[in-house]
Amino acid sequence: MEIKNKINVKKLNFFYGDFHALKDIDLQIEEKRITAFIGHSGSGKSTLLRTFNRIYSLYPHYKATGEIYLDGVDILSIDQDLTRLRQRVGMVFQKPTCFPMTIEENISFGVNLYEKLKSHAMEERIEWSLRKAVLWDEVKDKLKQDSMALSYGQQQRLCIARAIAVKPEVLLFDEPTSSLDPKSTNLIERLLVELREDYTIVLVTHNLKQAKKVSDFTAHIYQGGLIEFNKTSEVFINPAHEVTQEYIQEY
């Protein structure tokens, strides 16, 4: 069986103004697996993650050179439709970013961008995505409640539900549990493993235990460069690079 590379990064260089943030990155993200990016703060792991949905294009002064192939199509090309790209590649941020609307409106907001669902079909989609995010049982009676009334951990799961509802192919998680309590963190880690069945997942984390527990592959980003990339078990038991060895010792 051929291993499919969902994302193929070729000689990626990333600049913020004059600052060279990512240097000659070559990387393959395998389909329906969890790939973790680890590294110190400021190493560039979030920067790399954010190239996959071109969210950096919202701001001036950011520039990427090289190629990033999503299913064989270079998303860094000028004529890439960014809204279509971001429907296929969803993102969950470090802090919950729920819209100040009701719970169901948060989910229907994204869905309405691409599909015209009748109210019954929309209800089904809302239930489906909330179940997948392990949030349905907690909110099924208060869908019309303001999302801001939920706890932090619930809000983050709502953001995950919202991202899933538009049926993406790839999910990017930028340190999704770093601001959550251990219980919510645990829940989301289990959720990630379940989501792997259907989605290609890339996870940035500074929690090495999490990377070890959850991911299939691990990439170590150091000072803008990719210094190690292998199966997670290999990286943590037998790291090839001494910097990785040092970094892992820290936990």
Partner 1 sequence: MKKGSYLYFKRRLKNFISKIFAYLMTSVSLFFLGWLLFSLITYGSSHFNLSLFMETTPPPGMEGGLLNAILGSLMMVGLAVLMGTPIAVVVAVYLTEYGSPGYFASMLKYVNDILLSAPSIILGLFIYQIYVLRYGSFSGWAGVLALSLIVFPIVVRASENVLTLIPDHLKEAAAALGTPKWKTIIFLILPISRTGIVTGAVLAFARVSGETAPLLFTALNNQFMNLDLNKPMASLPVVIFQFAMSPYDDWHKIAWSGALFLTLIVLTLNVCVRLIFRQKIILH
Residues that bind partner 1 (CB under 8 A): 53, 55, 58, 60, 82-87, 90-91, 93, 95, 97-100, 109-110, 113-114, 159, 162-163, 166
Q: Which is nearer to partner 1, 87 or 223 (CB)?
A: 87
Shortest distance (Å) from residue 193 CB to partner 1 = 22
Shortest distance (Å) from residue 161 CB to partner 1 = 12
CA 143/CA 140 separation, integer angstroms: 6
Q: Which is nearer to partner 1, 16 or 223 (CB)?
A: 16
Shortest distance (Å) from residue 97 CB to partner 1 = 4
CA 31/CA 28 separation, integer angstroms: 9
Q: Which is nearer to partner 1, 4 or 84 (CB)?
A: 84
Per the listing, tokens 């170590």 go with: 220
DSSP-assigned letter for residue 2: P
Q: Which is nearer to partner 1, 18 or 137 (CB)?
A: 18
CA 71/CA 86 separation, integer angstroms: 14
Shortest distance (Å) from residue 33 CB to partner 1 = 21
Q: Which is nearer to partner 1, 44 or 90 (CB)?
A: 90
241-to-1, 5, 64, 208, 244 alpha-carbon distances in Å: 30, 24, 26, 16, 5
Shortest distance (Å) from residue 29 CB to partner 1 = 18
Residue among 118, 3, 16 at smallest CA distance from 57 = 16
Q: Cα angle vertex 167, ends 161, 169, to 5°?
A: 110
172-to-34, 161, 233, 245 alpha-carbon distances in Å: 10, 13, 21, 26
Q: Which is nearer to partner 1, 83 or 249 (CB)?
A: 83
Shortest distance (Å) from residue 230 CB to partner 1 = 29
